Amino acid sequence: MDQHSKTARRQLAGVCVKNLKNNGFAADYFETVPEALAFVQNLIPAGASVGFGGSETLKQTGILDWLYENKDYTVYDRYHTDDVKKVFHQCLMADYYLMSTNALTADGHLYNVDNTGNRVAALAYGPEHVVIIAGTNKIVRNDEAAVNRNEDVAAPANNIRLNMPNPCTEYGRCMHCSRDTTLCNQLVITRRSKPVERIHVILINEELGY
Residue 162, domain member (yes or no): no
- Asked whether residue 183 is assigned to any structural domain, the reply reads no
Contact 85, 167 (CB under 8 A): no
Residue 194 lies in a domain: yes
CB-based contact 130:195 (threshold 8 Å): no
pLDDT band at 1 (very low <50, low <70, confident <90, very high): confident
Residue 46, judged by CB atoms within 10 A of its CB (0-12, 13-18, 19+), counts as exposed
What CATH number corresponds to the domain at position 115? 3.40.50.10420
169 in any annotated domain: no
- Give the ranges where the chain is alpha helix by DSSP (H): 3-22, 33-43, 56-61, 63-69, 84-91, 118-124, 143-149, 155-161, 168-171
pLDDT at 63 over 90: yes
Domain that holds residue 47: 3-140+189-204
- Identify whether 64 is part of a domain: yes
Residue 156 is assigned to a structural domain of this protein: no
**72-127: pLDDT as tens digits:** 999 999 999 999 999 999 999 999 999 999 999 999 999 999 999 999 999 999 99
Burial of 54 per CB tally in 10 Å (0-12, 13-18, 19+):
middle
Give me the chain's average pLDDT, please: 97
pLDDT in tens, 11-44: 999 999 999 999 999 999 999 999 999 999 999 9
Q: Is the pLDDT of residue 62 over 90?
A: yes
Q: Is residue 198 part of a domain?
A: yes
Task: State the total domains in the chain.
Answer: 1
pLDDT in tens, 167-195: 999 999 999 999 999 999 999 999 999 99
Instruction: Tell me whether residue 7 is in a domain.
Output: yes
CA–CA separation, 27 vs 49, rounded Å? 22
Q: What is the pTM of this model?
A: 0.95
Query: Region 158-163: what's the mean pLDDT?
Result: 94
Pairing type for strands 103-105 and 110-114 reads antiparallel
Query: Per residue in 113-155, pLDDT tens?
Result: 999 999 999 999 999 999 999 999 999 999 999 999 999 999 9
Task: Give the model's pLDDT for residue 31.
Answer: 97
